[in-house]
Amino acid sequence: MSGAPVLAVRNLARAFGGVRAVDGVDFHVARAEMVALIGPNGAGKTTCFNLVNGQLRADAGSVRLEGRDIGGLAPATIARLRVGRTFQVAATFVSMSVRENIGVAQRALGRRGDARAADELMARVGAPELVDRHAAALAYADAKRVELAVALAGNPLLLLLDEPTAGLGLAERTPMMEAVRAATVSGVAVLFTEHDMDVVFGFADRVIVLDRGRIIATGTPEAVRADAAVRRAYLGDG
């Protein structure tokens, strides 16, 4: 990897009362890399995401975007610094069309919204036919694609995807992740959480495993799949 990683997290920590939800976490995500952050429920994955995009403040440690310390900045400020995010449950403005949803996102991020940009973004996520559809009429899988297009509207350096295939049928998961993979062609760094291990091992370049707020393994999908500590903590082997 040449130069600074897109995202560098160092000694990140956050406690809630006596529970250390994130405890001394270190990792990075490089340009055009897809990194999966996995672990059992309560491992600290969503807390990590919330610390990276400013929804929570860290008790200790740093979060750097291309070398710039973004710790403590507001979520809206971090979004304008080109960090896009999706959530476990797809969220759109149901009173608007898909085109209008994308336009709102672009304007909020300080970018000029226009019809051509919406068309291009929906083509990037593999659903150009949806651009003039009313958001309230979308099937759930289509709403997830729109949410991804909205996250791409700010031309992100980094995408944070919180369970991008949650709620999707088996046949819908691969096309969704192929759309995410296509985003990395332009150099976007992707950090995603996911419970479907077929998705994780099929699409991640690297996998980071959290357990009780700490990283217990990191490496290629093949190495993580074979790691005894991971199998005990998460994959179910005794």
Query: Quick one: DSSP state of residue 45?
Result: H
Under a CB-based contact definition with an 8 Å cutoff, are residues 48 and 59 in contact? no
- Highest average pLDDT, of 9-18, 86-95, 134-143, comes from 9-18
* Two structure tokens written together for 12: 């990140």
Query: Could you give phi then psi for residue 198, rounded to 5 degrees?
Result: -65, -40
Class of domain 7-82+156-235: alpha beta
Q: Confidence band (pLDDT; 50, 70, 90) for 2?
A: very low
Q: Confidence band (pLDDT; 50, 70, 90) for 94?
A: confident
**Residue-wise pLDDT tens digits, 128-150:** 999 999 999 999 999 999 999 99
Higher local confidence (pLDDT), 237 or 162: 162
Q: What residue ranges of the chain are covered by domains with CATH 3.40.50.300? A: 7-82+156-235
